[in-house]
C-alpha cells in the first residue's frame, strides 16, 4: 500500500513547486516554440501580461492587450508567430502558432510535475485491508478507502476523499479534497474530479402511492466515468436505478451541475455551471450546453447540439449540430428573429394605430361620397 512519510515536513518539502525554475529554451522545447532573445532567461512562476514581474512567464493572444507587450516586466513572453512588434521589447520571446493553446499546454505540464510529486499515505487515514493500491499513489489525511476498492497507478486522493465499497479508480486520476465516490462506481484513467463533488448518490426515484405519499425506489445501479473526463466542484452525478449513469470519454462538466440517474453524457461533451439533466436523457457527442440550462428526462440530444445558457429543453433534438435557445428551447436563428420583432413591438403598435386611423378616415370619406 506504499510507504508512509516519516513526518508532515516531508510533504511540505516534496510537494512544493515554488522553487522550480525553467529557462526560455526549456519552455520552447515543451511547446515546440522558437526563441527570440536570451534562451537562458529563467522564470519560476506565471503572470498576466499586464501584471507580470521579473522572472515570470506571460503570454499574449488577445490583440487588445498588445500595448502591455511594451510595458510588462515579464522575463519571457509566449507570442503568436503572426504577432508583429511595433517596437523592441525587453523580454525573451517564444514564438508559437497559437499562444493561448501553447500556454495552456505549459500550464498542464507544470501541474503534472507538481502533482507527480505527491506520493505516500498521510495520517490519519483509513484504508481497508482488502483494498488494493497501485504504484506512486497519494492518499491525503482523513481519506477513507472502503472494502474491495481498487486504485490504479499514480492516483492522487486529496484529504477528505471517500471511496465506497467496490469502487474502482484507474491510473493517473486525481480526486480533489472532499470528493465522495459511492459504492460500485467506476472512474477511468486521467480523470479529474474537483472538491466537494459527489458521484453515485441515489437517483431521485419515488413512486406515488394511493394515499398521496411517495415510496422510495431502490437505486441499485452505479456511475461509470470513462477516461479523460473532468468534473468541477460540487457537481452531483446520481447512480442509475438499474444499469449505469454514464459519463463518456473526454466530457467536461463545470461546477454545480446535476446529472440524474441513468443519464448518458457523450464523448467530448461540455456542460457549463448550474445546468441540470433529468433522468434517462441521452446526450450525444460533442454537445455544448451553456450555464443554467435545464433538460427534461427521457429525451435524446443529437451529436453536436449547442444549447444556449438558461435554455429549457423539453423535447428530443434529433437533428445533429442544431443550435437552440430559450425556454422552451427552439432554433437559435428563429429565436433571434423573434427577439428582434419583440423589441420593435412598440413601434409596430404605433404604426398599426396610425394605419387604423387612416383606414377609418378613408371609410368615412367613402361613405360621405
Q: Counting Cβ atoms within 10 Å, is residue 366 exposed (0-12), middle (13-18) or buried (19+)?
A: exposed
For residue 124, is it within any domain? Answer: yes
Q: What SS3 class is residue 69?
A: helix
Residues belonging to the active site: 261
How many Å apart are CA 240 and CA 281, to the nearest integer? 12
How far CA 220 is from CA of 27, 331, 333, 337, 341, in Å, comes to 49, 38, 43, 47, 50
Q: Residue 173: which domain range? A: 120-332
100 and 125 share one domain:
no
Residue 206 has pLDDT above 70, yes or no: yes
Average pLDDT of the segment spanning 192-211: 97
Q: Give the per-residue pLDDT at 350.
A: 87
105 and 125 share one domain:
no
Other C-beta atoms closer than 10 Å to the C-beta of 238 total: 26
* Count of domains forming the chain: 2
Q: Give the per-residue pLDDT at 341.
A: 76
How many Å apart are CA 139 and CA 176, to the nearest integer? 11
Give the total residue count for the chain.
369
Average pLDDT of the segment spanning 278-302: 97
Reported as a pLDDT band with limits 50, 70 and 90, residue 5 is very low
For residue 349, is it within any domain? Answer: no
The CATH number of the domain holding residue 104 is 3.40.1390.10
Q: Give the per-residue pLDDT at 367.
A: 73
C-alpha cell at 57: 512567464
Cα torsion at 185, 189, 190, 196 (round to 10°)? 10
What is the full DSSP assignment across 88-133?
Answer: --SSEEEEES-HHHHHHHHHHHHHHHHHHT--EE-SS-EE-TT-EE
- Say if pTM beats, i.e. exceeds, 0.85: no
pLDDT tens-digit map of 9-31: 323 333 344 457 899 999 999 99
Other C-beta atoms closer than 10 Å to the C-beta of 309 total: 14
Cis ω before 124 (30° cut-off from 0): yes
316 and 206 share one domain:
yes
Amino acid at each position: 500500500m506504499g510507504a508512509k512519510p516519516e513526518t508532515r515536513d516531508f510533504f511540505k518539502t516534496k510537494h512544493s513547486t515554488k522553487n522550480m525554475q525553467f529557462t526560455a529554451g526549456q519552455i520552447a522545447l515543451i511547446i515546440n516554440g522558437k526563441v527570440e532573445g536570451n534562451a537562458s532567461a529563467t522564470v519560476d512562476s506565471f503572470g498576466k501580461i499586464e501584471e507580470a514581474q521579473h522572472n515570470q512567464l506571460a503570454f499574449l493572444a488577445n490583440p487588445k492587450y498588445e500595448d502591455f507587450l511594451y510595458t510588462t516586466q515579464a522575463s519571457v513572453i509566449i507570442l503568436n508567430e503572426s504577432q508583429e512588434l511595433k517596437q523592441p521589447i525587453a523580454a525573451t520571446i517564444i514564438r508559437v502558432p497559437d499562444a493561448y493553446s501553447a500556454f495552456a499546454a505549459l500550464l498542464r505540464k507544470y501541474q503534472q510535475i507538481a502533482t507527480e510529486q505527491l506520493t505516500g499515505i498521510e495520517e490519519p487515514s483509513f484504508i481497508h485491508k482488502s483494498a488494493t493500491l497501485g504504484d506512486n499513489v497519494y492518499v491525503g489525511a482523513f481519506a477513507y478507502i472502503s472494502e474491495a476498492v481498487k486504485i490504479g497507478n499514480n492516483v492522487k486522493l486529496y484529504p477528505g476523499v471517500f471511496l465506497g465499497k467496490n469502487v474502482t479508480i484507474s491510473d493517473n486520476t486525481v480526486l480533489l479534497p472532499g470528493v465522495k465516490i459511492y459504492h460500485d462506481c467506476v472512474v477511468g484513467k486521467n480523470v479529474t474530479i474537483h472538491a466537494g463533488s459527489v458521484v453515485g448518490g441515489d437517483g431521485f426515484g419515488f413512486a406515488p402511492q394511493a394515499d398521496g405519499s411517495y415510496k422510495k425506489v431502490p437505486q441499485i445501479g452505479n456511475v461509470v466515468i470513462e477516461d479523460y473526463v473532468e468534473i468541477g466542484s460540487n457537481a452531483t452525478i446520481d447512480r442509475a436505478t438499474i444499469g449505469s449513469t454514464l459519463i463518456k470519454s473526454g466530457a467536461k462538466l463545470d461546477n454545480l451541475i446535476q446529472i440524474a440517474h441513468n443519464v448518458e453524457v457523450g464523448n467530448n461533451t461540455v456542460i457549463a455551471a448550474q445546468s441540470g439533466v433529468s433522468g434517462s436523457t441521452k446526450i450525444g457527442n460533442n454537445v455544448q450546453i451553456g450555464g443554467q440550462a435545464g433538460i427534461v428526462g427521457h429525451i435524446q440530444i443529437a451529436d453536436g447540439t449547442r444549447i444556449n445558457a438558461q435554455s429549457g429543453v423539453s423535447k428530443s433534438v434529433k437533428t445533429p449540430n442544431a443550435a437552440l435557445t430559450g425556454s422552451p428551447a427552439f432554433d437559435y436563428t428563429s429565436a433571434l428573429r423573434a427577439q428582434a420583432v419583440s423589441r420593435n413591438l412598440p413601434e409596430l403598435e404605433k404604426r398599426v394605430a396610425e394605419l387604423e386611423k387612416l383606414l377609418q378616415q378613408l371609410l368615412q370619406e367613402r361613405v360621405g361620397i
